[in-house]
């Protein structure tokens, strides 16, 4: 679901940045308010960004030779609220794009809107509605399942509109060449059938575990804060165990061969276009677009085995997120002392 650069026109990218920015701004403001009420949210944000980043490393095979992955956005909304979840997933997406080349830089607005805005708010909305009517567990499952599928639908629409909104003088697509009649079914097929099920399973498993060992940590808008430090240390410990286990297991994400639909590199796309009789040359906008080489592209570390590189990438990301949480925590302490 990470749309790469050169699949969307610059105009589409601009529109998606414009759509994501106000929601992210409100989410940052709301999260700041939560932090002032309880600075224990700061390390929890680092934990949440880590969970989202790590679950996205576990690619699962899709019939037809492609792959997909869960995102964890609804889970984060259940843990810390939809606004803080929006911020945490955005931070994960920024690191993925800039350090690991997963998702385009120009396409960041679209990826943030799909995965950090639509997914947690839709997922949490369904969860909150069903919880209010006494069906909390069903809310967890259905919220996470439909949250990721809402994001997949939007990604399919954004990609599928390109042959309509961005064409050459002769009518040829300049960017993604697949029309909406192909892009939307392809995205929904992968997520309705497989990725949505994985998302729901992961979300429910972590929710059930937290509900059992540290139920006070589940977000409720009436409280709008997390419990105090003494009550949270136990929960933090279990989250660190979970993150450690996910890091060690992360190379399992390499077992699923094939590229996610709409995330092919230029040579893969050209091969697909040729085999599907869509032409023998890449759309011109794609050949003259952004070419950013991330330091650890595709979660590889030069000079190491692929699986070790995957683990090192996971460790690096988690350390960054947890460090950001520590910095936020110390800033909160300084603000308290200042007052």
Three-class SS state of 62: strand
Distances (CA, A) of 137 to 18, 143, 191: 35, 10, 21
Look-up: residue for tokens 């429910």? 204
What is residue 39's DSSP assignment?
T
Dihedrals phi, psi of 62, to nearest 5 degrees: -115, 135
Residue 289: per-residue pLDDT: 85
User: What is the per-residue pLDDT for 234?
Assistant: 60
The DSSP secondary-structure symbol of 297 reads G
Domains and CATH numbers, the chain: 10-338 (1.10.1760.20)
Angle value at C-alpha 110, between 148 and 196, nearest 5 degrees: 10
Considering Cα of 89, then 230, then 210, then 202, what sign does the dihedral take? Answer: positive
Sign (positive or negative) of CA dihedral 163, 103, 98, 101: negative
Show the low-confidence residues of the chain (pLDDT under 50). Answer: 224, 230
Q: Are 175 and 202 in contact (CB under 8 A)?
A: no
248 in Cβ contact with 311 (< 8 Å): yes
Identify whether the C-beta of residue 89 lies closer than 8 Å to the C-beta of residue 47: no
Give the pLDDT score at 101.
Answer: 93
Which pLDDT belongs to residue 220? 78
Q: Rounded to an integer, what distance in angstroms lies between the CA atom of residue 78 and that of residue 33?
A: 18
Give residue for tokens 């029309």: 179
Q: What is the pLDDT of residue 233?
A: 59
Burial class (CB in 10 A: 0-12, 13-18, 19+), 337: exposed
Tokens of 20: 């994501």
Whether 129 contacts 139, CB under 8 Å: yes
DSSP readout, 209-276?
HHHHH-GGGS--TTT-SPPPHHHHHHHHHHHHHHHHHHHHHGGGGGSS-SPPTT---HHHHHHHHHHT
pTM of the prediction?
0.94
């Amino acid at each position: 679901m990470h749309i790469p650069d050169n699949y969307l026109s610059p105009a589409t990218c601009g529109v998606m940045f414009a759509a994501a920015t106000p929601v992210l701004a409100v989410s940052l403001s709301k999260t700041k308010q939560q932090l002032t009420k309880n600075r224990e949210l700061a390390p929890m944000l680092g934990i949440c960004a880590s969970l989202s980043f790590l679950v996205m490393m576990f690619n699962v095979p899709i019939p037809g030779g492609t792959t997909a992955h869960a995102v964890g956005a609804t889970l984060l909304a259940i843990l810390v609220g939809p606004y803080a979840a929006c911020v945490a997933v955005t931070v994960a997406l920024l690191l993925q794009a800039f350090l690991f080349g997963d998702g385009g830089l120009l396409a960041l607005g679209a990826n943030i809107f799909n995965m950090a805005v639509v997914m947690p708010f839709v997922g949490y909305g369904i969860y909150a509605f069903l919880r209010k009517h006494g069906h909390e567990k069903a809310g967890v499952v259905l919220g996470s399942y439909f949250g990721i599928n809402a994001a997949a639908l939007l990604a399919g629409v954004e990609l599928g509109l390109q042959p309509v909104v961005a064409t050459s003088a002769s009518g040829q697509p300049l960017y993604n060449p697949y029309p909406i009649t192909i892009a939307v079914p392809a995205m929904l097929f992968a997520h309705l059938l497989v990725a949505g099920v994985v998302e729901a399973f992961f979300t429910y498993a972590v929710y059930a575990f937290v509900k059992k060992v540290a139920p006070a940590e589940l977000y409720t808008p009436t409280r709008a804060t997390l419990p105090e430090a003494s009550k949270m240390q136990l929960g933090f410990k279990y989250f660190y165990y979970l993150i450690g286990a996910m890091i060690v297991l992360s190379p399992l994400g390499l077992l699923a061969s094939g590229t996610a639909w709409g995330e092919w590199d230029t040579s893969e796309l050209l091969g697909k276009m040729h085999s599907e009789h869509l032409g023998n040359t890449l759309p011109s906008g794609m050949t003259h677009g952004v070419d950013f080489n991330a330091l650890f592209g595709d979660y590889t570390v030069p000079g190491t085995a692929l699986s070790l590189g995957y683990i090192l990438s996971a460790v690096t990301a988690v350390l960054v997120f947890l460090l950001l949480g520590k910095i936020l925590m110390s800033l909160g302490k300084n603000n308290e002392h200042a007052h």
